[in-house]
A and B are shown apart, each in its own frame.
Chain A
Amino acid sequence: MADFTMPSLGADMAEGILVGWRVEVGDRVKHGDIIAEVETAKGIFEVEAFSDGVVAQILFQAGPEAIPVGTVLATIVEDGADSISPPVAAERMRISPAARRLAVENRIDLDQVKGTGSGGAICLADIEGLIGATTAKVPAQKPVETKTSSDFKSGMRQAIAAAMSLSNREIPHYYLATDIDMSRSLRWLEEENRQRSIRDRLLPVILPLKAVALALKKIPELNAHWVDDQLQLKNEIHIGFAIALRGGGLITPALHNVDLLSLDELMAAMSDLIKRTRSGKLRGSEMTDAGITVTGLGDLGVRTVFGVIYPPQVALVGLGKIDEQPWAEQGGLSVRPVLTATLAGDHRAGDGHQGAQFLDTLKRILQEPEAL
């Protein structure tokens, strides 16, 4: 395939105006054929093709704007190549009827929506996600991202805003952080994964997630809701897991009974939850019954997360990037993979001492990965 670009007809020509085409998409052209007219400061020139083939795409129509030299104006494919793109008409949008209706009702610009359904089709959940139909019941908990896009007005943004305002207004947060040496855990994980097929491999985030669950068994006061000035301990360990949506925004559905799941089961549950979250197939209970939230921003290189608690929960665990860092131990210095885990706690419901015990427990659990 060859690009036909705005030609440079002289050393002093920086741009040209496309006056008109002499060809159409589908026309066969030979080297030397005149295919367009370009106006420069020096007048109108006929310009020629420099390759043989068929005009596959015309990217600019004639018009008064000046186009910089080198800009691709058309593409020419080799004769016989079957990859001639369809002409200007855009491919019809893949969108379900229900999603289209909801989008129209809510005046959503469909060009801005990325579909998560079959073949990239926009489905109901994508639209609901944007207008907050799903999140009305489920305010997300953290203003972790600063959005400047138009979704500020959307329901999900408003729901997040409301929940977080409530949290900052009412919850006296305390923050703790600890660095955890992850070398043992990661070595063990590497060994485990070696025995697994690619599909069944465990992701590193699984280890701290399970460790949080086990630590909560020791410090149950952090797995709780603060309701009517009272702490209500949760019997089961359901952990809210922050999942960013592709279209923007964030949902924190619960992984159920994390303490009871094997790592493989937890991995499967997490994949399932992410998939269902993004396709809008969450169950109602998953949106409300978490006793604590874990949020990880390590993917984006964040080392330390200072989170905002999602009411009525009383704690939030933040996980940073597992990063190689200098590590001093027993008078020596070495480089270790380090995870910075943080805890945001509700000071009404408990004290820093409790939080510190939790982080210390978490750290110790992660030194014995085989017990996970």
Chain B
Amino acid sequence: MEQQLRKMNYRDALNEGLREALQKDERVFLMGEDVGRYGGCFAVSKGLLDEFGPERIRDTPLSESAFTGAGIGAALGGMRPIVEIMTVNFSLLALDQIMNNAATYLHMSGGLFNVPLVIRMATGGGKQLAAQHSHSLEGWYAHIPGIKVLCPATLEDARGMLWSALLDPDPVLIFEPAVLYPMEGELSADAGPVAIDQAKLLREGKDLTLISYGSCLHKCLEAASILAEEGIETDVIDLRTLRPLDDESFLASVAKTHRALIVDEGWRSGSLAAEVSARIMEQAFYQLDAPVERICTAEVPMPYAKHMEEAALPQVSSIVATARRMIDG
């Protein structure tokens, strides 16, 4: 059967996912700063206010803690709220609600109260927004038991993860790499919900496993093409779900390639990359033919100047160079 493909960007895919959710379930509503009249800081919710009205597309005051907590309360009260926190940087103002309430209620109440809440937020650097607007803290959130952490890197996931997250009985955080919003691509006409408990192998090779997610995933794919021209064939794994991690996917790949390079926009110390690396060491030590390596963001507050920011972030060239070194010895 011929798949009908439509051209769209990542932002459109998210918008379509939101629209579908709002259409499918009356309990679903979106709230956050400037999601309504402004159309969303990144225009993700553009047009939804007209279609669904101010009750379900709620502009909030700049009160991250209050509206995130209100999302928790509304979820407890029978709704299916989608809270949009403009960016991960501001999520720190709501950290008490996310960590002390959303993540704990189910366990603290001995299973009495689950919190079916979805929190979306933009993440990541690469836009010259300097130290307070360039955080990549998704790996940090993935540290917290009780919440699930997703990071869609593809149009398919941008379109399909939201509904699956809404079906989940527990709090789900969706991190949208801000640099990906304008990313163009094609999406099948019948694209729909996607699994949110599995990593995905996006490219196959036998020499090296590249493990990444979010915006760095695309750098890995580009690096993989360059490496292929040199005869180095890589598996590229999109983790997609940062918590809980799908260990089997990367362990299976490492069992094949015996080498793993993890690329993560988070800072190196205590990073998600560190976690993945540790799991490989714990569960696939005897498959390793070389030390697991990591490329992470330099451990500095993000500088503004373009050349400095580029030097701080993982880049295709560093991925290629590291991969080469790992293969050639």
**Is A–B contact present in the complex under a CB 8 A cutoff?**
yes
Mark A residues whose CB is within 8 Å of B: 96-101, 116-119, 121, 123-125, 272, 275-276, 279, 281, 283
Q: Note all chain B residues with C-beta closer than 8 A to A276.
A: 231
Docked CA distance A98–B292 (Å): 13
Asked whether any CB of chain A lies closer than 8 Å to the CB of B201, the reply is: no
Q: Note all chain B residues with C-beta closer than 8 A to A117.
A: 289-290, 329
Known contacts A276-B231, A283-B231; is A124 also within 8 Å of B289 by CB?
yes
Q: How many residues of B contact A (CB 8 A)?
A: 16
Q: From B258, which residue of chain A is reached at the shortest CB distance?
A: A98
Closest 9 CB pairs of A and B: A118-B329, A117-B329, A96-B289, A124-B289, A101-B286, A98-B289, A97-B288, A97-B286, A123-B289
Docked CA distance A125–B328 (Å): 12
Known contacts A124-B258, A272-B231; is A97 also within 8 Å of B327 by CB?
no
In the complex, how many angstroms separate the beta carbon of A269 from the nearest chain B beta carbon? 10
Q: From B233, which residue of chain A is reached at the shortest CB distance?
A: A283
Docked CA distance A124–B329 (Å): 12
A96→B288 contact, CB < 8 A? yes
Interface hits, B284-315 → A, CB 8 Å = 285-290
Asked whether any CB of chain A lies closer than 8 Å to the CB of B235, the reply is: no
Seed contacts A272-B230, A283-B231; 20 additional CB < 8 Å A-B pairs = A96-B258, A96-B290, A97-B285, A97-B286, A98-B286, A98-B288, A98-B289, A99-B289, A101-B286, A116-B329, A118-B325, A123-B289, A124-B258, A272-B231, A275-B328, A279-B327, A279-B329, A281-B207, A281-B231, A283-B233
Docked CA distance A267–B328 (Å): 18
Docked CA distance A274–B258 (Å): 21
In the complex, how many angstroms separate the beta carbon of A259 from the nearest chain B beta carbon? 20
In the complex, how many angstroms separate the beta carbon of B326 from the nearest chain A beta carbon? 8
In the complex, how many angstroms separate the beta carbon of B284 from the nearest chain A beta carbon? 9
- Name 26 A/B residue pairs within 8 A (Cβ), A-sorted: A96-B288, A96-B289, A97-B285, A97-B286, A97-B289, A98-B288, A98-B289, A99-B289, A100-B286, A116-B329, A117-B289, A117-B329, A118-B290, A118-B325, A119-B329, A121-B329, A123-B329, A124-B289, A125-B289, A272-B230, A276-B231, A279-B328, A279-B329, A281-B231, A281-B232, A283-B233
Docked CA distance A106–B170 (Å): 49
In the complex, how many angstroms separate the beta carbon of B259 from the nearest chain A beta carbon? 9
Docked CA distance A101–B207 (Å): 19
Q: From A118, which residue of chain B is reached at the shortest CB distance?
A: B329
Residue-wise, chain B 258-301 has the 8 Å CB interface mask toward A (1 for contact) of: 10000000000000000000000000011111100000000000
Q: Note all chain B residues with C-beta closer than 8 A to A97.
A: 285-289
In the complex, how many angstroms separate the beta carbon of B10 from the nearest chain A beta carbon? 35
Residue-wise, chain B 196-239 has the 8 Å CB interface mask toward A (1 for contact) of: 00000000000100000000000000000000001111000000
Docked CA distance A119–B326 (Å): 12
Q: Note all chain B residues with C-beta closer than 8 A to A124.
A: 258, 289
Q: Note all chain A residues with C-beta closer than 8 A to B327.
A: 279, 281
Q: From A123, which residue of chain B is reached at the shortest CB distance?
A: B289
In the complex, how many angstroms separate the beta carbon of A315 from the nearest chain B beta carbon? 27
In the complex, how many angstroms separate the beta carbon of B143 from the nearest chain A beta carbon? 27
Q: From A122, which residue of chain B is reached at the shortest CB distance?
A: B289
Q: Note all chain B residues with C-beta closer than 8 A to A116.
A: 329
Docked CA distance A98–B328 (Å): 17
Docked CA distance A98–B285 (Å): 7
Residue-wise, chain B 312-327 has the 8 Å CB interface mask toward A (1 for contact) of: 0000000000000101
Q: From B230, which residue of chain A is reached at the shortest CB distance?
A: A272
In the complex, how many angstroms separate the beta carbon of B277 from the nearest chain A beta carbon? 14
Q: Note all chain A residues with C-beta closer than 8 A to B231.
A: 272, 276, 281, 283
Residue-wise, chain B 228-262 has the 8 Å CB interface mask toward A (1 for contact) of: 00111100000000000000000000000010000
Docked CA distance A99–B259 (Å): 12
Docked CA distance A121–B326 (Å): 12
Q: Note all chain B residues with C-beta closer than 8 A to A99.
A: 289
In the complex, how many angstroms separate the beta carbon of B1 from the nearest chain A beta carbon? 33
Docked CA distance A236–B289 (Å): 35
Docked CA distance A121–B328 (Å): 12
Q: Note all chain B residues with C-beta closer than 8 A to A281.
A: 207, 231-232, 327
Q: Note all chain A residues with C-beta closer than 8 A to B285.
A: 97
Docked CA distance A125–B258 (Å): 11
Docked CA distance A92–B289 (Å): 17
Q: From A125, which residue of chain B is reached at the shortest CB distance?
A: B289
In the complex, how many angstroms separate the beta carbon of A372 from the nearest chain B beta carbon? 24
In the complex, how many angstroms separate the beta carbon of A89 from the nearest chain B beta carbon? 23
Q: Note all chain B residues with C-beta closer than 8 A to A283.
A: 231, 233
Docked CA distance A245–B142 (Å): 47
Docked CA distance A279–B325 (Å): 12
In the complex, how many angstroms separate the beta carbon of A289 from the nearest chain B beta carbon? 15
Interface centre among A96, A119, A272, A275 (most CB of B within 10 A): A96
B290's partner among A101, A123, A275 (CB-CB below 8 A) is: A123
Q: From A101, which residue of chain B is reached at the shortest CB distance?
A: B286
Docked CA distance A281–B232 (Å): 8
Docked CA distance A21–B208 (Å): 53
In the complex, how many angstroms separate the beta carbon of A199 from the nearest chain B beta carbon? 15
Docked CA distance A365–B63 (Å): 81
In the complex, how many angstroms separate the beta carbon of A222 from the nearest chain B beta carbon? 27
Docked CA distance A117–B328 (Å): 7
Docked CA distance A123–B259 (Å): 11
Docked CA distance A105–B290 (Å): 19
Docked CA distance A118–B289 (Å): 10
In the complex, how many angstroms separate the beta carbon of A104 from the nearest chain B beta carbon? 10
Q: From A127, which residue of chain B is reached at the shortest CB distance?
A: B289
Interface centre among B230, B233, B290, B329 (most CB of A within 10 A): B329
Q: Note all chain A residues with C-beta closer than 8 A to B232.
A: 281
B287's partner among A98, A121, A125 (CB-CB below 8 A) is: A98
Docked CA distance A279–B290 (Å): 12
Docked CA distance A283–B205 (Å): 11
Q: Note all chain B residues with C-beta closer than 8 A to A275.
A: 328
In the complex, how many angstroms separate the beta carbon of B206 from the nearest chain A beta carbon? 9
In the complex, how many angstroms separate the beta carbon of A41 from the nearest chain B beta carbon? 54
